Amino acid sequence: MILKTTNNQKFDTKNGIDISLPLSPTSGALAWYVAPVKIWPVTGDGFIGKVTEGGSTNFNNILLNPHGNGTHTENVGHISREFYSINESLTQFFYHALLITVQPESFKNTDFGENDWIITKELLANQIGDQKNFEAIIIRTLPNEVVKKNKNYSNTNPPYLTKDAIEYINALNILHLLIDLPSVDRENDNGKLMAHHTFWNYPDQPRLDKTITELIYVPIEVKDGPYILNLQIISLENDASPSKPILYPIES
């Protein structure tokens, strides 16, 4: 089906590119020291929710952590004292988006005595240039090996965005930030979470309409440039939800 945006850009719903990571007990990226997803049949009182074991239906429990198991979308409730539901923050689902690819640069972090990899304002600006009028930005980082799909990021000090990079994103009036890393902040920053706080302007004037999506995966053959983004979540009253972002190429 061919659809048109309000400014007559066309995209074909049959050509969607799924940039979410599948969740299963044996695959999917992990972070924050959580265990893999657990899926098991309901049992009790002579009932078993598994057809191969004699049950009439497959009827499973699922245990996961939205922040640590695979692709997820979060709102300011992730860092706030107040409760804010992602289900109430994300009420529109199609956005003009820009996909960029960046190579994080090395940075000697004297505060922690480690070598970090960071994404700065300059790296973003070099890729974005004068492109404007997009509501979401998708950041693909290099190297972009397929192993990202099943990587355990815990205790690996992954790359992260600097405060000036987030300020630059805010200056572009971007509402939705998507990235193929487990966090926009350093894995261990003593709880400061500067990038999260800056993006959501918390606690001064919290932006309840903005979201961050982490642990996506954009295949290397997908070209940088503008897309239509469909960002879907579970109708879950929580600060974060597993999510399924889909990119649609814009037709000329």
DSSP secondary structure letters along 125-154: HHHHTT----SEEEEEESS--GGGGG-B-T
Contact, 211 vs 135, CB < 8 A?
no
> Is residue 163 classed exposed, middle or buried when 0-12, 13-18 and 19+ CB atoms within 10 A define those classes?
middle
22-45 residue pLDDT tens: 999 999 999 999 999 999 999 999
Q: Which residues contact 156 (CB under 8 A, 6 or more apart)?
A: 187
120-161 residue pLDDT tens: 999 999 999 999 999 999 999 999 999 999 999 999 999 999
Q: What is the pLDDT of residue 136?
A: 98
Q: Residue 84 is part of which domain span?
A: 2-20+70-249
Per-residue pLDDT averaged across 52-57, rounded? 97
Contact, 151 vs 31, CB < 8 A?
no
Q: What is the pLDDT of residue 204?
A: 96
Residue 242 in any domain: the answer is yes
The predicted model scores a pTM of: 0.96
Residue 47 in any domain: the answer is no
Residue 40 in any domain: the answer is no
- The percent of residues in the chain predicted with pLDDT above 90, rounded, is 95
Question: What is the longest distance spanned by two Cα atoms in the chain?
Answer: 65
**What's the domain count of the chain?**
1
Strands (E), 52-129: 60-63, 72-74, 94-102, 105-109, 114-119
Query: Residue 225 is part of a domain; what is its CATH number?
Result: 3.50.30.50
- Residue of 162, 163, 159, 164 whose CA lies nearest to 181: 159
67-122 residue pLDDT tens: 999 999 999 999 999 999 999 999 999 999 999 999 999 999 999 999 999 999 99
Residue 93 in any domain: the answer is yes
Residue 37 in any domain: the answer is no
Contact, 3 vs 38, CB < 8 A?
no
Q: What is the pLDDT of residue 9?
A: 87
- Residue of 244, 236, 189 whose CA lies nearest to 75: 236
pLDDT band at 6 (very low <50, low <70, confident <90, very high): confident
Residue 5 has pLDDT above 90, yes or no: no
Q: How far apart are CA 184 and CA 31, in angstroms?
A: 13
Q: How far apart are CA 205 and CA 192, in angstroms?
A: 18
Q: What is the pLDDT of residue 224?
A: 98
Residue 125 in any domain: the answer is yes
64-73 residue pLDDT tens: 999 999 999 9
In the chain the first and final C-alpha atoms are separated, in Å, by 16
Residue 46 in any domain: the answer is no
Per-residue pLDDT averaged across 50-75, rounded? 98
Residue 29 in any domain: the answer is no
